[in-house]
Structure 1
Amino acid sequence: MKTYLIASIKMTLVLLVLLSGVYPALVAGIGKLSPGGGGGETVSRNGKVVGFANVGQAFTQDGYFQGRPSAVDYNAAGSAGSNKGPSNPDYLATVQAPIDTFLAHNPGVTRDQIPAELVTASGSGLDPHLSPQAAYLQVARVAQARNLPEQKVQALVQQHVEAPFLGILGPEKVNVLQLNLALDAVK
């Protein structure tokens, strides 16, 4: 028994050093090589940080494209989704509110035209992307609010559609922050 106990203590100490020291240091070192140095890739406009490239933000004005709702109020320190199922009354009320808001701000759009991503949070609650279809659905509202031709706003969306990774992995997507920044630059 003494043999097993000593071996167990040695293995525990080795794993403690590896998993509490070496591995986190390795991951942090690799993170320092990534864009943003492991602190997140910031997006700047005129020398001022306006957001993070991979974290969604709340855009509520009609002149901007709206992204996905967030279960954590877009707080990257508390990434989380909801554990509520589709039959939970609280969840249904949570989803109904953005549906009602979207329909009120987008006349001519029917309930069944609204993609799920415009009214439900992603698993992390921080997703900065929409499908091109969700962005195109908002073109009329954004164009009207900014007094721009719809074709110009639609072309701007098309310019910001990102292809799937390696052309096959994942869907096409639009980064809402990048699209809204490009929209602000339109004269």
Structure 2
Amino acid sequence: MKLIKSVWSKALVALLLFTLLCGLIYPLAVTGISQLLFHNQANGSIIEIDGKKYGSALLAQQFTGDGYLWGRIMNLDTKTCTDSNGKAMLYASPSNLSPASDRYQELVKERVEKIRAAHPEKRDTPIPEDLVTCSGSGLDPDISPAAAEYQVERIAKARNMPVQQVRDIVAKYTNGKFLKVFGEDTVNVLKVNLALDGILK
């Protein structure tokens, strides 16, 4: 009996100790360090200018105007992203569509037609793949430099801006490869559009 009580008491002490350590001390320490050293990233990389929040640099926003840089297709399925009253439940959602499915092919075809219609000056220039396909999450905030360059003339014309000025803004918000080796160069769509509107300098 004493042996059983001893085992139970040690187990209880261990449970309380690890609950305190792993459930309270460690989370508070990590949160404190992240807030101190990586405050912006720890709070969602929110772009805030003059007290107004414009969104996260890590989450896509849908831009459709001719004077804006367009991002990747966002998965905004009204059947899964809204409730019975039409109220949004999800910002967007990942797509489970197979690239071989008819629906996926229709989606790509629709996007190709939209891109072609908006960029008549490009004629038969191949459309960068990321402009007509979804990302895995449906929330990719970046596009390739090629996809951004494809849109430069349309944006310049819509805003009555020099083409080079638009290119300079795109270049400013182009991120290089990690350690210049890993990944690909990317352009942040939200930052470019905020800069086009003169909000982000």
TM-score interval (norm. to shorter): 0.7 to 0.9
Are the equivalent residues in 1 in contact too, given 2:75–2:138 (CA < 8 A)? yes
Shift of 1:27: 6.2
Question: What is the identity, as a one-letter code, of the residue corresponding to 1:47?
Answer: G
Q: Which moved more, 1:21-30 or 1:103-112?
A: 21-30
How many pairs were matched up?
Answer: 179
Question: What is the identity, as a one-letter code, of the residue corresponding to 1:63?
Answer: G
User: TM-score, normalised to structure 2's length?
Assistant: 0.72
Q: Tell me how far apart the structure 1 counterparts of residues 154 and 27 of structure 2 sit (CA, whole Å).
A: 47
Q: Tell me how far apart the structure 2 counterparts of residues 103 and 61 of structure 1 sit (CA, whole Å).
A: 15
Aligned residue in 1 for 2:45: 41
Shift of 1:41: 1.4
Runs of 4 or more, structure 1, over 3 Å off, are: 20-39, 72-80
Q: Tell me how far apart the structure 1 counterparts of residues 30 and 92 of structure 2 sit (CA, whole Å).
A: 20
Question: For 1:119, which of 132, 157, 179 is the aligned residue?
Answer: 132
Say if 1:133 and 1:144 are closer, same or farther in 2 by CA, change over 3 A: same
Q: Does 1:65 align with 2:69?
A: yes
User: TM-score, normalised to structure 1's length?
Assistant: 0.77
Are the equivalent residues in 1 in contact too, given 2:176–2:186 (CA < 8 A)? yes
Shift of 1:35: 3.3
The 5-angstrom pairing of residues 1-187 of structure 1 reads 21=23, 32-33=35-36, 34-36=38-40, 38-72=42-76, 80-110=93-123, 113-185=126-198
Cα offsets for 1:43-71 (capped at 9, x unmatched): 12332111111111111100010111112
Shift of 1:26: 6.8
Shift of 1:135: 0.4
Cα offsets for 1:52-92 (capped at 9, x unmatched): 11111111100010111112579996664222112211111
Say if 1:149 and 1:37 are closer, same or farther in 2 by CA, change over 3 A: closer
Over alpha carbons, which structure has the higher Rg? Answer: 2
Q: Tell me how far apart the structure 2 counterparts of residues 91 and 28 of structure 1 sit (CA, whole Å).
A: 41
Q: What is the root-mean-square deviation in Å for CA atoms of aligned residues?
A: 3.4
Q: Tell me how far apart the structure 2 counterparts of residues 100 and 128 of structure 1 sit (CA, whole Å).
A: 22
Question: What is the identity, as a one-letter code, of the residue corresponding to 1:141?
Answer: R
Cα offsets for 1:89-125 (capped at 9, x unmatched): 1111122222111111111224662111111121111
Stretches of structure 1 that go unaligned for 5 or more consecutive residues are 1-5
